[in-house]
Amino acid sequence: MEDLRNRVAFVTGGASGIGLAIARAFLQEGMRVALADRDVPELDRQVTGLGDAALAVPLDVTDRGAWVAAKGTVERAFGPVDVLVNNAGIGPDGRPLADMAPGSFDRLVGIKLTGTFNGVHTFAGGMRDRGSGWIVNTASMAGLTASARLGAYTAAMFGVVGMSEVLAAELAPHGVGVSVLCPGLVETRLRATTLAAGNDVIDGPAGAARRGIPASVVGDLVVAGIRAGRRHIVTHGEYRSRVAERMATVVAAFDDVPHRSQDGRPEQRVPEPPTEPAG
């Protein structure tokens, strides 16, 4: 999707951080943007300064009835949605999975993973019927690599990556593109939004935290990723080796496992003959 001017976007988690940065980048491209968030006072404050092409839409992404109402609001104001950004989410609580409260697990997965599905359920069918559109699902670098004390967060993010890849395969024949955004550390209000959603946050050791990149950088990368038709949009090149190491470990698990026939017995595979040199 190279031409974004006059397109309509719907961005969740739009009151701050990555969502707000993506919305601003879209507005700079001449799009009309509905920014959705459960923090209505902050959402209204931010949208007030964005001009007539921006619309504030109150939304709790876990509330499917609210999604129906939000769809009606944006369509009455701007028309059908061309670009959906499922960005809303909360952060990890820092506990080992064995010690995590079930309610905290359910809340994180419900907002990030099920909330993303709710957006897809609301808007993807219309894009498919019109034969055009783009969906960006925000995951995390934690959707490509696994680290201790990020259990529910990693589970949700791996889920968003997998959901996005399935969605891409299903919608590509209908002219609809899908990207999954996997950022590293970014300057956001994730801690505050996590606490506001009702989950605790355990701080790491003093001095362990490092500053993230500006969210505006991510907004620009999303615009570029949509234009280039990227399936995966990443923000931090230094994670390449960690992702490659994980992928290599998965592939290596196949090294001594034979191909199987339908009855489960190993197949005898005949090596291909060497290619004759040309000449």
DSSP state at residue 204: -
Is 153 tagged catalytic? yes
Distance in angstroms (rounded) separating the CA atoms of residues 21 and 198: 24
Give me the sign of the Cα torsion angle 198, 141, 248, 159.
positive
Among residues 161, 230, 152, 162, the alpha carbon closest in space to that of 194 is found at: 152
Distance in angstroms (rounded) separating the CA atoms of residues 149 and 31: 39
235-244: buried (b, 16+ CB within 10 Å) or exposed (e) per residue? beeebeeeee
Distance in angstroms (rounded) separating the CA atoms of residues 46 and 35: 9
Cα dihedral 256, 262, 263, 264 in deg (nearest 10): 20
Catalytic residue among 153, 156, 190, 235: 153
Query: Which are the catalytic amino acids?
Result: 153
